[in-house]
Amino acid sequence: MNRTVSFLWREGKGVVLALALVLVVRTVAAEPYAVPTPSMVPTLMVGDKLVATKYAYGYSRYSVPIGEIPMTGRVLDHTPERGDVIVFRLPRDTSETYVKRVIGLPGDRVQMKKGRLYINGEMAARRPAGALDTVVLGRPVTLHRYIETLPGGRDHDILEMSDDDALDNTPEFTVPQGQYFMMGDNRDDSLDSRVAAVAGGVGMVPAENLVGRVDMVLYSHAPDAPLWSPASWGEIIKRLRLFTQIT
């Protein structure tokens, strides 16, 4: 029996050590994620494979890729900056992972009025950046593209179908200490902190739910373009987005 165990260890220890190394890297350094919905278009596309940098904000119970660490709070904690794109665990169901942009920091007052973003009573500047033709619920739609400037001068692209959609007019939200207000860049197609958790939305996101900062898209694969079909390779190459930096 001892010989059998010794043989299995000799043959399998390389695999065990390799798996342990992967687990450590994905816990401490970075972990890949796939984007399943269009809520962050045009910054992130459906099918993007992105990297979340774990050490950007420190570590919490949700930092491991499998299960949870039995701890509370964060260690080596670093505060996110307004405008960061973040992977986080959904507060009402921590088995789900979301990716959104940080709009409100602790203590901020956030509101949407007629499609415009207000932070602490000041309207965020935006300027037109063209249009995007797409299909929504089977019908062609033209979305308006803008470059929005957050307090502090950070720019990012957003999309609006109109300035009078369901979440374009909201009450003013005050972000509690230790929590963050998240929004998608595709403003009229994003379930985010504008909808309370009790209503099936995201609500405020506690600091310990933050998993990592999105710095890069590794590549992108159109979900409807199978890799094994040569006819789809042109679409796959067009969507590669190799090593695209995220701002």
Identify which of 92, 84, 97 has the alpha carbon closest to the alpha carbon of residue 43: 84
| Angle of CA points 242, 245, 246, to nearest 5° | 125
Distance of alpha carbon 59 from alpha carbon 24, whole angstroms: 13
147 half-sphere exposure, CB direction, 13 A CA radius:
8
Distance of alpha carbon 98 from alpha carbon 121, whole angstroms: 28
Torsions phi, psi of 231, nearest 5? -65, -20
DSSP 73-87: S-BS--PPPTT-EEE
**Which one is catalytic: 54, 60, 63, 100?**
100
Q: Is 232 known to be catalytic? A: no
Mapped onto helix, strand or coil, the DSSP state of residue 210 is: strand
DSSP 221: -
Contact present, 126 and 116 (Cβ < 8 Å): yes
End-to-end CA distance of the chain: 57
Q: Is 49 known to be catalytic? A: no
Residue 232: both structure tokens together: 């789809």
Distance of alpha carbon 148 from alpha carbon 151, whole angstroms: 10
Please count the other Cβ atoms lying within 10 Å of the Cβ belonging to residue 86. 22
- Active-site residues, by number, are 39, 100
